[in-house]
Structures are given as C-alpha cells and as structure tokens.
Structure 1
Amino acid sequence: METSAYERLVQALRGAGVVVDDKGDFGSAQTPGHGHGDRGTTFRRTADGVLLWVHNDDRDAVLEQLGLAMSDLFDAKQTEYSYGDGRKVTRWYDSETGKKRFAQGGNKTGTALFAVETIPKDVPDMPVFVVEGEKDVRALQAVGQVAVSPPQGAMTDPARFDWTPLHGRPVLVVRDMDDPGLTHAKRVHELLRDHCDVVIVEPAVGKDSADHVAAGLDASAFTMLRTPMPEGVRSFSEVLGDWWSWMHQPVSERRVYSTPWEDLNDKLAGGLHPKRSYIFAGRPGAGKTVAALNIAQHVAEKHCPVLVASLEMPDLEMASRMVAAGSQAHYGQITRRELDDNAARRVQTYMESDRPDSTALWMLDKSSLTIEQIRSYAEQMQQSVGLGLLVIDHIGLIKATRNGMSRRDAIGHASWQCSVMAKELDIVVLLACQLNRGTEQENRPPVTSDLKESGDIEQNADVVALLHHPLVNGERTGDVEIRLGKNRTGPAGAVVTLPWRGQIARIG
C-alpha cells in the first residue's frame, strides 16, 4: 500500500531526529535546528494530503532539510477535484520548476461551486465558508467545517457561478492575503450580501485557509477583515500632534493674512485663514470691489502672492483703483487721466517707492470663465510663484460649468467649488458678491438671506461680510459698516464701522 503524504511527512520528521507528537490525523514536531522543547512545526491530515505549517522558520527551507518538496504533501502526484456538475480540476507540481499547475476538464462551462453538495440542507443555520481553491475547502473539511469554492479562485469572475445554495445561510468569505484575494472576497460579498448574512474574514496566520488550519487553528480563530483606513482619514492622536505644532508655531510663521482693518481682524481671529472662503457682499456701488481690492493689495504688499480674477473689470481699471488706494490720489482724476498737482505728486511718490515692485499681486482679466478654469489658473500660479489669496470679482459672473444649468445651480456649484478649492489648495478664497436690491428699497441693513441668486453662497462660505452704508435723514453718514452675517472664525453679527473713502478707492 502506498504511503500517504501524512505518513511520509511524519517519517521524514522522525528521520531528521526531531521530537514528533503524532495524534493520528494531526500533530506537532520540533522544528529542525531548534531546541527539544520546541513544537514550532504543526501538520494536519486532509482528504488529499497533509497540511504543514512552520511557526518559527521558513516552510520551504524546512521541507528541504527533510528531503521533501511541496508535491510530497499530496497523496498523489496528480490530485483530481470533481464538481457536482461534471467539471474536473487537476492539480500537480511541475517536476522542473516545482510550481503548482492546474488543468480544467469535463464540464468546463458548469456553474456549480466545488463541494456545494456537502452543504447540509437540513441544517440551515450551519455556517458555510467560501474559500479560494479546492485545497482550502479540504483544509476546512478536515476540521469539521462546510466550505465551498468557485473554480479557479480569484482568477475568474465569481458572478459566473451559482451561489443560490448559500442563500439564507450564514456565510464567511475567507480572503487570501494578497490584493487579488481581497478583490475576490469583496466581489463574493457583493454577490451575497442581499441574500444572506455574510462577512469577510482573514486567516489568523499565513496566506489562506490551508495555512490557518495547518497552524493548528480552528474556524473560530479567523479574524474579521482588517481593511485599511480610507485615505485622508486620520486618528485624533495623529491630528493632535499637528495641532500642537500649529498651536506653538512662531508668530512669524503663522499663515493668517491680515486685512487693512484691525477691528475686522479682531473679529476674524487675526485675519483671513487659509482653507477658508470669504464672501464680501454689497449692492452695486456699496464697495464690495473696493473692499476686495483693498484686501488683495494689503496682503500682496506683505509679499504673499495674490491672484485677482476680475470677470467684470479690466486690469487697467483695477490698476487705477490700486494706484488711487496706494497713493491716496483722487480716483476720478486717475480715471480721467487729469491729475492736479497734489494728485500727481502723490502718484509720483507712490510709483517711485518700492511698494509697487514689492507687491506680489497678479491680475487675471477675462470676462468668461468657469470656476474650474479659475481653479486651473490658481493651481498653475501656486506651482509657479506660490499662492496665498485668490480674489474673484464677482461670483455672479462666473460662467456655468455645463450647458443647461440654471443660474441658481451654477452659482451654487461655483460657491461650493470655491470652498473645496480653498481647502485642497490651502489658500484663502475671497469672493465679491451682489446683494438683492430689497435692502436698499426697505432702507435696512442687509442680512445673509439677501445674497443674490443662491442660498448656497451663505451655506458654503466660512465668513459672509455684508457692506452697508448707514443713512441719517436719507443721507450717507460717510461711514461703511462691515456686518459679519456669518463668521466661523469668531462672533457672528459683529459690526465693524469704517470711514468710506470712495474718492481714493479705499475703505478706512
């Protein structure tokens, strides 16, 4: 009678002079080269051979010391697995390379799972293991479990096969510990999740169910799938380390961009913060563009790169406003190009100073841009010279991303993308925005619900600053109020009152 693989392994172990504890169908042994008290090698008989696991050494190296190969762990040189629908799978080891080989025969178009006929129909609550290969099925059968496998394991789409015999039963899908194994297990789970109670488990040791059983472990020792955390998700302790560094960052290194107005900075936790979006809104002529350009110029003069994307105003007009604000020369004279002596002197002094050349400000003068196109400009600038602040004037003129979008949807999409852009590019995004004319007609201060065309603007922004010119006896007081209708960096509802100096294109 031919010696079984189990007996062949036990004989080889004893022949190597190691201590062997053989229980008949399973056992343990001293790993060759290790101490007499060691039992680091375990083995178990299966229907087609023996499973071997070495806990404290390399299995292939131990087999070599024993004068055996992986093919010696099977009872026959060729192992045939028969499926209930006539498919036949033959497994053997190539004599030259030592690598395992498979061949399909019989009903190769069959849809039955291997060993599906062993599922007891009269015990509906018995768990069924789904494994990746016939050898793994036999391994679990050796420890009294019911297991099935689709043909060719992870090499073929499991949707091709009949899973209905598993419906209504508890199912454990055992993944092989490689990427194809995980993909295959998730696909099987997807096919079964609407039909039965199914989970994905992993072997406690080794790469598959056979290694798990060979290591002397039973079915209860499988562990729940350990999936990696989604990219971008971090633990509180990890974030806390970054927070501590942020909390103690030297003042000189803190990236908070002050506005020209200290009272407003106080309400905004120091100024404008990267990763946040800010709305400056007002009725036509209320100063939203003046405010946006004043901030852009102030930040840029502190050598932080700023991009102003004006969809309404040509770059020469923007330059005129900035020269007026920088020199405190009369804006009307600049636009007419008729400077009196005082204005000319102021402009000349400003132009001869180092302020213009040291102002890290760039202008984008295009009247028809989508928010995606604006982002592309911002990304290229960030890669070229860096970018700290992006100003868009104004959101109502941003072109719809897709044809057929309603104006409300287009504005809502643009405001959301500005919020996303601020976070992903780690910059400040400041948007000018128009208010509905209702505030003017009702002679009342504006509120966030007055933002024109889309309530999404308020929802998506971190800060909403509303510009208002108070009236006394129907006349402007000469001040402008910046009313913080929304403020995620400080108190909402705060009002900062500043002098309105429209004649030199400045606030404050």
Structure 2
Amino acid sequence: MNDTLCNHPLELRVIGTAFRNSAAAESYVLDHRVLPEHFTIDAHRTLWGVIAERIEARADLDDIVLVDLLERRPDLLVGSVDLDTVFATIQAATEQADPDPSAEHARVLRDLAARRRLAGALDHAMRHVGQLDRPIDDTITALTEATYGSALVHRTPQIRTVADAFDDALRRWENPGEQLGYTLGFHRLDEIMSLAPGTMTVIGARPSVGKSLFAQHVISNVVHKHAVDAVLVSMEMSERELMDRIVAGEARVSARWLARARKPRGDDRRAEWERVLDVGNDEAMRRFGITDTADLAIVDIEALARRYRAQNPDFKLLAVDYLGLIRKADSKQAPVHALDDISRRLKVLAIDMDMAVVVLVQLNRNSETERRPPRISDLRDSGAIEQHADNVLLLHADHPSIGDDTTQPIAASQVIVGKNRSGPPGRIVHLDFDSTVPRFIDQAPAPPVGRAYFENVPLPGGQR
C-alpha cells in the first residue's frame, strides 16, 4: 500500500482519544461517521469496530472493558491480528490521546480512505484493459464507474426537526416563485405543474411526435424567464441539427429553410435573417447549454452534470434526450434492469444536485396498434420509470408526423398529464403545433384561467 495514503499515528491518536473521552468517541462515531474501514491496520480496525459497536449500543467504554470483551469474543478480531497485538495497540493509543475530538482528524481519515479506494479501483480497472475479449465500451464504463464511485466520500445524513426546518419552509411559502419551481412555458400546463428542483419529469411520446422540440421549448422558457442555466444532453441529434431546430424555434423561421439558408441579398427574407441574428445576441442563449456526445453511460451524464455545476453555479435544469439511448453499464445486463438503474440514478441526481431533471422516453407501439391516446403504461420496457418520476407527460398528435413541415401548418396536439406528484393527474392540455417554424404554442384564443382550461380523463378506479 502507498505509504502516503496511510497515517498510522493519526489512527492511534483518534483511537486513544475515544478511549479517554466518551464524548469524543460519540462525536467520532455518530457525528463524523468514522468507520472501521477508514483505518489501515487490522488491530486498529478491530479496536474501532468494538468502539463503534459500544457507542451505538450506548454501552460503557474504556480500555479495561475492551480487553475483557475481546478475551471473551475472539470473533471480533479482524484479519490475522492476535490479542497480544491488540492489547499493545491499546497502550500505544492511550499514550497519544488528545483531550478533545477533532473534526479535522476525522476528515483526514475519511479522505485517506477515499483515496485508497480510488487507487484500488483504478488498479483493478487497469487490469481489465488488457482483456481483449471484453468490449472496449464496457472497459471504459467500468473505469469511469470505479473512478466516480470510489471518489465519493462518505456523507452523513443530516436529521432536522420540523421546528428547525420551519424557517426555510416559511421563506419558500412566502415566495411562490421559489416554491413552484420552473414553468414549462405553456400557460395552461403551468397551471397544473412545474419543474421543481429535486424532481424528475418524464416526457414520453412515439417517434416523430415532437418530444425533442417540446423539451427545447421548455428549456428556452426556463433560461429566459427564470435566468438559470440549463443543459440539453442529446444522444439522438448532432449539434448541427440541434442548432437548426433551436434557432429556428427562437427566430420563428422554418428549420428546413434555415438548414439550407444563405445570407439573403436585397430584401429577400431579410426580416427572417435579422431574427436569426438576434438569437445569437440573446443573452439567455448563453445559459442554454447543449452537447451532442453520443453513446453516454449514466455515469458519464452524472460526471458531466457535476462538472458543469462546478463551473456554473446557476445550472438548475438538465434534459436528457433520450433514456433508451443511454448506454448500459454492463452490456450483459437485461434492458429492463438497466433502465431501472438509469432512471433511479437520474432521480438521485436531481435530489443530490437540487435541480430539475427532464428525461425523454420513447413509448411502445400499443397506442398506435390500439389506435388510442398514449397511457402511462406505454412507457417502454420499465415500470420503474413511472415509479421514479415525479411527473409524467405524454405527447399525442393526430397528424402523421409532427416534424414534417409538409403537414398542415397548424395541427392540434395534446399533452396528457399521466402523473403529477404536486397536483391532479389525468388532465389533457391542448396545444397547437406550428409546423412552419416548428414549435408548440398555446391554443388561441386563451380562455380565462380555471378548470375550463383542462379536460378530465378517467383515472384508475373511476376517480376524476
């Protein structure tokens, strides 16, 4: 083991301090979560395992009690250590005891343990590099998982009483904008739900119904209205395709024309071209991040999000297009289990980073074969997606292809709210799709705010 990743004197000092001061032992075990695996010598691990067990059981702890316990319970000995070595270690530790516990000592022990785990994981992963019969993508993913997972330092869950948390909650209640999260940009839909930090919203649709365009509209609304940073991770479209669609939507011009456009001469389409140039000067577009990196694994997306947050503290919305294209960590893993794991980790990412996560999902063919609007049960391959999601939106269009601007200029579309953790599910919000731009728009004229906005659909058990 690399000697620079060990600090035996510090380990002895912490053990001795715990023996001499019961309050210090409680602080190390309960507050700072110092664990046996944070120590490097079997005798140290043995002693700390017994100390932690006694503290958690609220039992007496001193060196005499410890010696008696180990003589009666040799099963507590770790590795090949013997009692004589443990007893000698107790004497050495008590001689180096500090009068009080040190949060810095606990931090150093945890930090060194994390570095040792990282070194071991990298060594293990490097041995797989030479296995030529293993797919290179699996090897790269395993290496990334080892690096990312092993580098995570143990975090202690914090428990607060309702009284302690009340002031924070009161500030949210007094600030409705903060409480409700980010709007989606469609006033009828915004009356029902929002994209709150810590939540995961799933947008599901069959191919060519417009889920990517819908997500781009939502991100544009968030960066303009809420002035926060957002990132779209697209594994389906190239940066060129993304730019054609995003800029066309912002400038209200045809994406097909823009893809073939040349700088106009004279007055030919001059106004449209000026709107395109205005998009490049829009400060909000500096908050709209895109990446077209294909074949990403979930660990790559987690690392991308954390790096971007470190560089951009206002990064509050992540959209992934789409779930089925995220590469499995193990190529032999069953698709259902892989999607379960990926959707769970995206939800954890939303909570851990206190951000809104939007995930696009392709629905199965049942709605097409049965000639009906989509249902939440049409989520492809995994019921866990519904379980992990806070909100599920299902897009439906009666026209053949929402991405084809040869269809009728204005076509009706529906957003079915299949799940809504903060409000009523089962509502249908009617939108129009302008295929000449292309973009989704609220149906006009807009009726007054209220239940007239929405159409109820039957819920399981006959609820409304």
TM-score by length of 1: 0.54
Whether contact under 8 Å (1:132, 1:153) holds in the other structure is no
Aligned pairs for 1:216-227 within 5 A: none
Relative contact order, higher structure (CA 8 A, sep 6+):
2
Whether contact under 8 Å (2:251, 2:279) holds in the other structure is no
| Residue of structure 1 equivalent to 2:173 | 247
CA RMSD of aligned residues (A): 3.5
Could you tell me which of 269, 278, 281 is aligned with 1:352? 278
Q: Distance in 2 between matches of 1:416 and 1:318?
A: 27
Please say if 1:258 is aligned against 2:183: yes
Could you tell me which of 160, 164, 167 is aligned with 1:234? 160
| Residue of structure 1 equivalent to 2:218 | 295
Deviations 1:120-176 (A, max 9, x none): xxxxxxxxx986455x79xxxxxxxxx96545999x8499999xxxxxxxxxxxxxx
| Residue of structure 2 equivalent to 1:488 | 421
Q: Structure 1 residues 354, 367: CA separation in 2 closer, same or farther (over 3 Å shift)?
A: closer
Q: Structure 1 residues 153, 245: CA separation in 2 closer, same or farther (over 3 Å shift)?
A: farther
| Residue of structure 2 equivalent to 1:380 | 307
One-letter identity of the residue aligned with 1:347: W
Query: Secondary structure at 1:312's aligned position in 2?
Result: coil
Could you tell me which of 228, 245, 258 is aligned with 1:304? 228
Deviations 1:321-346 (A, max 9, x none): 11111111112212233688675522
TM-aligned CA deviation for residue 444 of structure 1: 0.3
| Residue of structure 2 equivalent to 1:441 | 369
Deviations 1:41-91 (A, max 9, x none): xxxxxxxxxxxxxxxxxxxxxxxxxxxxxxxxxxxxxxxxxxxxxxxxxxx
| Residue of structure 1 equivalent to 2:457 | none
| Residue of structure 1 equivalent to 2:237 | 313
Q: Structure 1 residues 252, 131: CA separation in 2 closer, same or farther (over 3 Å shift)?
A: closer
Deviations 1:102-133 (A, max 9, x none): xxxxxxxxxxxxxxxxxxxxxxxxxxx98645
One-letter identity of the residue aligned with 1:385: N
Could you tell me which of 370, 373, 379 is aligned with 2:297? 370
TM-aligned CA deviation for residue 347 of structure 1: 3.4
| Residue of structure 2 equivalent to 1:191 | none
One-letter identity of the residue aligned with 1:273: A
Q: Distance in 2 between matches of 1:497 and 1:235?
A: 43
Query: Secondary structure at 2:282's aligned position in 1?
Result: helix
Q: Distance in 1 between matches of 2:247 and 2:231?
A: 17
| Residue of structure 2 equivalent to 1:497 | 430
Q: Structure 1 residues 133, 330: CA separation in 2 closer, same or farther (over 3 Å shift)?
A: closer
TM-aligned CA deviation for residue 253 of structure 1: 5.5
Gaps of 5+ in 1: 1-128, 138-146, 163-176, 180-229
| Residue of structure 2 equivalent to 1:276 | 199
Whether contact under 8 Å (2:172, 2:178) holds in the other structure is no
Aligned pairs for 1:78-227 within 5 A: 132-134=62-64, 149-150=69-70, 157=77
TM-aligned CA deviation for residue 371 of structure 1: 1.1
TM-aligned CA deviation for residue 238 of structure 1: 2.1
Q: Structure 1 residues 344, 447: CA separation in 2 closer, same or farther (over 3 Å shift)?
A: farther
Query: Secondary structure at 2:191's aligned position in 1?
Result: helix
Q: Structure 1 residues 409, 299: CA separation in 2 closer, same or farther (over 3 Å shift)?
A: same
| Residue of structure 1 equivalent to 2:392 | 464
Whether contact under 8 Å (1:333, 1:339) holds in the other structure is no
TM-aligned CA deviation for residue 454 of structure 1: 1.3
Query: Secondary structure at 1:408's aligned position in 2?
Result: helix
Q: Distance in 1 between matches of 2:185 and 2:60?
A: 67
Whether contact under 8 Å (2:247, 2:279) holds in the other structure is no
Q: Distance in 1 between matches of 2:270 and 2:350?
A: 40
TM-aligned CA deviation for residue 492 of structure 1: 0.4
Q: Distance in 2 between matches of 1:504 and 1:403?
A: 40
Q: Distance in 1 between matches of 2:430 and 2:274?
A: 31
Q: Distance in 2 between matches of 1:257 and 1:382?
A: 18
| Residue of structure 2 equivalent to 1:92 | none
Gaps of 5+ in 2: 1-58, 84-98, 102-155, 401-406, 442-464
Q: Structure 1 residues 504, 131: CA separation in 2 closer, same or farther (over 3 Å shift)?
A: closer
| Residue of structure 2 equivalent to 1:121 | none
Q: Distance in 1 between matches of 2:348 and 2:320?
A: 15
One-letter identity of the residue aligned with 2:182: Y
Whether contact under 8 Å (1:133, 1:149) holds in the other structure is no
Query: Secondary structure at 1:478's aligned position in 2?
Result: strand
Whether contact under 8 Å (1:322, 1:505) holds in the other structure is no
Please say if 1:453 is aligned against 2:381: yes
One-letter identity of the residue aligned with 1:325: G
Deviations 1:395-414 (A, max 9, x none): 11000122311112211111
TM-aligned CA deviation for residue 385 of structure 1: 1.4
Query: Secondary structure at 1:388's aligned position in 2?
Result: strand
Please say if 1:392 is aligned against 2:315: no
Whether contact under 8 Å (1:310, 1:363) holds in the other structure is yes
Q: Distance in 2 between matches of 1:307 and 1:158?
A: 48
TM-aligned CA deviation for residue 178 of structure 1: 9.6
TM-score by length of 2: 0.58
TM-aligned CA deviation for residue 239 of structure 1: 2.5
Q: Which has the larger Rg?
A: 1
Whether contact under 8 Å (1:479, 1:497) holds in the other structure is yes
Q: Distance in 1 between matches of 2:247 and 2:237?
A: 15
TM-aligned CA deviation for residue 296 of structure 1: 1.2
Whether contact under 8 Å (1:308, 1:392) holds in the other structure is yes
Q: Structure 1 residues 306, 353: CA separation in 2 closer, same or farther (over 3 Å shift)?
A: closer
Q: Structure 1 residues 283, 251: CA separation in 2 closer, same or farther (over 3 Å shift)?
A: same
